[in-house]
Amino acid sequence: MGTEEKREKHEQNAVEASSFLPRFLHRAAEPRQRRLLTFRSRAIFFQKTIRVIRGSYSVAQGTDLMKAAFAIGCGLAMIFAASAVAGQEPGKTKVLFIGTDPDHPYGSHMYMHTCGVLARCAELTPGVEAVVSKGWPTEANTLEGVKTIVLYTNPAAELLLDGEHRNEVARLMNQGVGLVTIHWSSTVKKDNLERLGPTWLGYLGGTWVSNVGLSGGKSSLKQLLPDHPICRGWREYEIDDEYYLNPVIKDAQPFLQVRERNGGDVIVGWVYERPGGGRSFATTLGHPYKNFQVEAFRRMLMNAVLWTAHREVPPDGAPVQLGEEALALPPRPE
């Protein structure tokens, strides 16, 4: 290849690689794409950067000084951009766990203790920050950057909608913050159904009316949407729990089902994609603490946390492995 042909080839490489800069920066500016900038994509990027530098050197030996200056500038800009992007970490996914004091005998409805255990599980996923609050947070900074809210409490319709913070809750829901409710928190009291029901159903997509019908017993926990991300990493298994009968499912999709001791099928979980982009997950399971010691149960809940926070659920489900000591019940109150 002659000198002139080499110069034209290097100039072509420089222009091609330079045009890659704005496309790379556009992708790098998106949070999801920052997570996808793998080692391979960065290697390709640096290969193109080398092309720019080599092309710039070759062009600089020609007479078109403007092209040379432009190509060299692009090469330096790409190196700077690569360094900046390589140092960026995905933004933290903040998860707020809300519990209340126990309202049932020891070993059931262990709200605050269970929230602490689930918070530790949540932080096993890289990039997740978990915060635990007794009742609705009183400090505004606790809510800053929250991506999803997990409640394990007494009826959460009243907790969220009957306090001075109801407008704050509405703002977060309208912003697309996720919502996860466990057991009794997936409910509204019968006396408040007419008053709070429409708003509550708008947030959760379904509810149980407390206390209209209870049962229990051992049952296979059936996945009604087995291809849903929340079902990753766990299979149907036998569960022993308390079951809330006749839940009201409005716009949500039934997700979990059991057969109670008298032979009736009961929906015990649902998923809801709210208008505006928010996601909600509710389960009426979780009466005895022993179920939170089951890995499959914790994985289902952690998958729901990630899904409602718009985080990718791993193919094998969220990590939830904790030691026996971390999963043990706290000492019985005297």
- Tens of pLDDT, residue by residue over 231-271, are 999 999 999 999 999 999 999 999 999 999 999 999 999 99
- Tens of pLDDT, residue by residue over 28-65, are 444 444 334 434 444 444 455 545 445 544 444 544 54
**96 has pLDDT over 90:** yes
**Mean pLDDT over each residue of the chain, to the nearest integer:** 84
Cβ-contact 317, 234 below 8 angstroms: yes
- Do 78 and 205 lie in one domain? The reply is no
Question: What pLDDT shows up at residue 67?
Answer: 52
**Residue 333 maps to a domain:** no
**Residue 332 maps to a domain:** no
3 state DSSP class of 275 = coil
Q: Is the dihedral of CA 262, 270, 228, 159 positive or negative?
A: negative
- Do 99 and 74 lie in one domain? The reply is no
**Residue 334 maps to a domain:** no
Question: What pLDDT shows up at residue 64?
Answer: 54
- Do 56 and 117 lie in one domain? The reply is no
Q: How many domains does the chain have?
A: 2
- Do 53 and 104 lie in one domain? The reply is no
Whole-model pTM over 0.85: no
- Do 283 and 308 lie in one domain? The reply is yes
- Do 74 and 169 lie in one domain? The reply is no
What CATH number has the domain bearing residue 321? 3.40.50.880
- Do 65 and 41 lie in one domain? The reply is yes
**289 has pLDDT over 50:** yes
Residue 231 CA to residue 137 CA, distance in Å, equals: 31
Domain that holds residue 203: 95-327
Question: What pLDDT shows up at residue 4?
Answer: 62
- Do 186 and 270 lie in one domain? The reply is yes
**Weakest mean pLDDT among 1-10, 301-310, 313-322:** 1-10
Q: What angle do CA 24, 30, 36 make, to 5 degrees?
A: 70
Q: What angle do CA 131, 186, 151 make, to 5 degrees?
A: 5
3 state DSSP class of 59 = helix
Rg (CA), the chain: 27
- Do 203 and 158 lie in one domain? The reply is yes
Question: What pLDDT shows up at residue 87?
Answer: 40
**Residue 281 maps to a domain:** yes
